[in-house]
Amino acid sequence: MNWSEKLNAPFPFYLNDDRKNVVLITVITAFVIAFMYFFKLPNDLSLTLGQHFLFGGITFVCLIINIVWLPRVFPNLYDTENWNLKKYILLNIWHLVLIGIGSSLLDIFYICPEKTVIENIIEANSRVVVKGIIPIALTTLFLRNTMLQQNLKSALQANKELQKIQSLKREPAGKNNNTVTLYSDTSETLSLNLPDLLYVQADDNYSTVVWQNGDGIQKKLLRANLKSIESQMDNVFTMRCHRSYLVNINAISLVSGNANGYKLKILDTDILIPVSRQKSKEVMEKISQWRNVMELS
């Protein structure tokens, strides 16, 4: 994975819940106050406990603004559903800038009015950067671990549902209306038994249909985009899990989850199909719904 892919990898927008985020911000603020009080650099100001709480208050207010208030006011700018590592890094830089501004004003007008404005700005921002690294690092580890645990939990639940779904029996082509004919943009067509379908992979205006029969895994390239294929396969078997993939639910043998999201393992193969973050909730819900259908059938 190159740097561009790493920076665009999914990352949680904190805890995606205002109440939980307020608790998290409170914990971060308490840590900052304790860290400033007990960890002192040689050139640090001699501050009272009350003055430490003032700087902690600046931290609390700035984080509330950035994490709770601004996403409500500018939802399109924040787009928390599609948050990634790059946006998280930029937001943390903005945290430091905003806290640095508040700390500079506090130094200029209250803590060190005898110093020049430039001196106060430099010292305040240096203090914010040096003492902000550890809270940011700890918060990042906590958020990444939280996302990993959530994904693993969801994957475990999905795998339990899949164990029940595997009871679906393949029907011979022509029975129960399971045969579908796919039409390409040319005169070429493909007829197959839907339960035999594994997945469809798109590449621009072409789609590769992959299915399994008595001769093993078969593939056919059709000149048709994935949206066209999806509309032709309008049924309970298939679901869109990624902008480039359409998958048969009954062909999924395992859902794996990590900090970067989910992947679907195709039955009796080593093929792993990615699940986009936008589709992850829909995929998990459809697996659960299909399990309910199987139990009722």
pLDDT digits 0-9 by tens, 135-154: 999 999 999 898 888 777 77
Question: How does pLDDT run across 77-130, given as a tens digit for each residue?
Answer: 888 878 889 999 999 999 999 999 999 999 999 999 999 999 999 999 998 999
- What is the C-alpha separation between 28 and 33, in angstroms, rounded? 9
Strand partners, 211: 197, 218
Question: How does pLDDT run across 68-78, given as a tens digit for each residue?
Answer: 999 999 988 88
Residue entry with tokens 């009080």: 37
Question: How does pLDDT run across 219-242, given as a tens digit for each residue?
Answer: 999 999 999 998 888 766 788 888
Q: Is the pLDDT of residue 64 over 90?
A: yes
* Residue-level pLDDT at 37: 87
- What is the C-alpha separation between 238 and 219, in angstroms, rounded? 17
Q: Is 31 helix (H, G, I), strand (E, B) or coil?
A: helix
Angle, helices 117-165 vs 85-106, to 10°: value is 150
* Residue-level pLDDT at 173: 41
Q: Is the pLDDT of residue 174 over 60?
A: no
> Residue 190 is encoded by which pair of tokens?
């493909």
Neighbours of 267 (CB within 10 A): 15
Strand partners, 208: 201, 221
Question: How does pLDDT run across 182-225, given as a tens digit for each residue?
Answer: 999 888 899 988 888 999 999 889 999 999 887 789 999 999 99
Q: Is 45 helix (H, G, I), strand (E, B) or coil?
A: coil
Report which residue type is found at 60: F
Angle at CA of residue 292, ends 199 and 217, nearest 5°: 20
* Residue-level pLDDT at 161: 63
- What is the C-alpha separation between 273 and 93, in angstroms, rounded? 35
Strands 197-203, 261-266: pairing kind: unpaired
* Residue-level pLDDT at 293: 55
Question: How does pLDDT run across 240-263, given as a tens digit for each residue?
Answer: 888 899 998 888 888 887 766 788
- Confidence bin at 294 (pLDDT 50/70/90): low
- Confidence bin at 281 (pLDDT 50/70/90): confident
> Residue 255 is encoded by which pair of tokens?
């859902």
